[in-house]
Amino acid sequence: MKPSKPKVLFFDVNESLLDLKELKITVGKALNGREGLAPLWFSMLLHHSLVSTASNQFADFSQIAVATLQMVATQNNIVLHKEKAKEVIQHFQKLSPHPEVEEALALLKSAGYQLVALTNSSEKAMNAQLRNAGISSFFDAQLSVETLGTYKPHKKVYQWAAEKQGVTLNECMLIAAHGWDVAGALWAGARAAFIARPQQELYPLAPLPEIHEKNLLDIAKKLIAMG
């Protein structure tokens, strides 16, 4: 028996749909050419977003991005002024989609799927990101965790997103290139697909997602083939 089609597809945005490569190059330049520090900065950004959540605090994702970029700089004896750090983080809004994303979204849309963006970016940043990447029109809804004041992968985020779309969590599938996002969605009771982009890994302590492919087009084909 073929698995049944999910009613709603939630898409993570940063790294999953949009390519962070250019941002990481810009971050590397700001850190005296030490591009190898970009993964550390991104990990610290994700960690500190949950530090806020664990304390019932909330700060804009780009504010946390600026703060953690400054921390990485100071830890490595690199001078980086706050204004420069803010300028670097602005590049979040100018990311290109990964090459196969537009075709994959178009196929899913034609097949009748309901597509929803679900991101840690702020409402305003998310809108700009999807518009600048030229993929805004594919989405039935664009949800930012900013509205809830809680970062992914807190289970409240997935519950809230499902409620917003008027469905239950087991009728939803999250599609993401981050192991921690896939883990959170599965633990919350949703279905999940993992986009195995370069340097991205599933979290070994979490359940496995039902779909695991190298790009979004292959995931779209599997979804369209569902019963």
Residues 6+ apart with CB under 8 A from 140: 114, 115, 116
- Tell whether residue 205 is a contact of its own copies (CB under 8 A): yes
Are 185 and 170 contacting, i.e. CB atoms less than 8 angstroms apart? no
Residue numbers 31-70 binding its own copies by CB under 8 A: 36, 39-40, 43-44, 46-48, 50-57, 59, 63-64, 67, 70
**What x-and-dash track marks residues 136-175 binding its own copies by CB under 8 A?**
---------------x-xxx--------------------
- Tell whether residue 101 is a contact of its own copies (CB under 8 A): no
The four Cα atoms 198, 9, 129, 212 give a dihedral, to 10 degrees, of 0
Which position has the token pair 């990485």? 72
Nearer to its own copies (CB atom), residue 5 or residue 48: 48
Element (H, E) at 9: strand 8-11
Give the span between the Cα atoms of 34 and 27, in whole angstroms: 8
Given the rule CB under 8 A, which of 116-124, 130-138, 139-147, 197-205 is the region that contacts its own copies? 197-205
Nearer to its own copies (CB atom), residue 52 or residue 132: 52
Handedness of CA 163, 167, 168, 169 (dihedral sign): negative
Which residues of this chain interact with its own copies, rule CB under 8 A? 36, 39-40, 43-44, 46-48, 50-57, 59, 63-64, 67, 70-71, 74-76, 151, 153-155, 179-180, 183-184, 187-188, 199-201, 203-205
